[in-house]
Chains A and B, each alone.
Chain A
């Protein structure tokens, strides 16, 4: 079966760095997405990785290792507004997104 695993909840301090991991087992791979979702709102796109390596975009970076079925989202200089759920999703061979359950990130002052 297809499976996406990510931690349920993480806590970090304002100004610090946090890494949210995601491991996956899917039928085929056409890219991995990270989305941010604030409570009661729809997800917003953060990053897309289809090749191995690190993609940096401002305070957020995303890493992919296809051979290990592994990705992480790195958030630097954390701000209170970064408190949200972070969803990892993999696009399978049918170009459909398989979603993880999300990681709730709590930022403390």
Chain B
């Protein structure tokens, strides 16, 4: 299957600082990238959808000024958590998708565990 990487895998930061998470599709061009957040024992929550070269579409309740998404190329998307607070501590997962025929399978990155102290 296709490979999606995320960096960093783990990050600990102090409250008030900003953290950038990178998501790369390594062997395919992703038409769309997604950013999810997962709290323990809960389903994945979609934060935003981004297409290369256009602004991200944020889900209701997600602050676009706090979670900045840049989809600069067909293989790279970044999520920046600005002015992080302890409640932002979570597992952030990106996924990338390319549409081929009837399948719109998403490939997931390994996730980034963010801890804000």
Residues of A bordering B, CB below 8 Å: 4, 30-31, 33, 35, 40-45, 48, 50, 87, 91, 95-97, 99-102
In the complex, are the beta carbons of A48 and B105 less than 8 A apart? Answer: yes
* Residue B44 is within 8 A (CB to CB) of chain A in the complex: yes
Which residues between 12 and 66 of chain B lie within 8 Å of chain A, taking CB atoms? 34, 41-44, 46, 49
Interface of B is mostly: loop
* Minimal beta-carbon separation of B68 from chain A (angstroms): 21
Interface of A is mostly: loop
In the complex, are the beta carbons of B106 and A42 less than 8 A apart? Answer: no
Count class of interface residues, chain B: 20 to 34
Using Cβ atoms and an 8 Å threshold, which residues of chain B touch A31? 102-104
In the complex, are the beta carbons of B46 and A42 less than 8 A apart? Answer: no
* Residue B8 is within 8 A (CB to CB) of chain A in the complex: no
In the complex, are the beta carbons of A87 and B44 less than 8 A apart? Answer: yes
Residues of B bordering A, CB below 8 Å: 1, 34, 41-44, 46, 49, 91, 93, 99, 102-111, 113
In the complex, are the beta carbons of A42 and B109 less than 8 A apart? Answer: yes
In the complex, are the beta carbons of A95 and B104 less than 8 A apart? Answer: yes
- Candidates B41, B44, B103, B109; contact of A99 at CB < 8 Å: B44
* Minimal beta-carbon separation of A1 from chain B (angstroms): 13
In the complex, are the beta carbons of B46 and A96 less than 8 A apart? Answer: yes
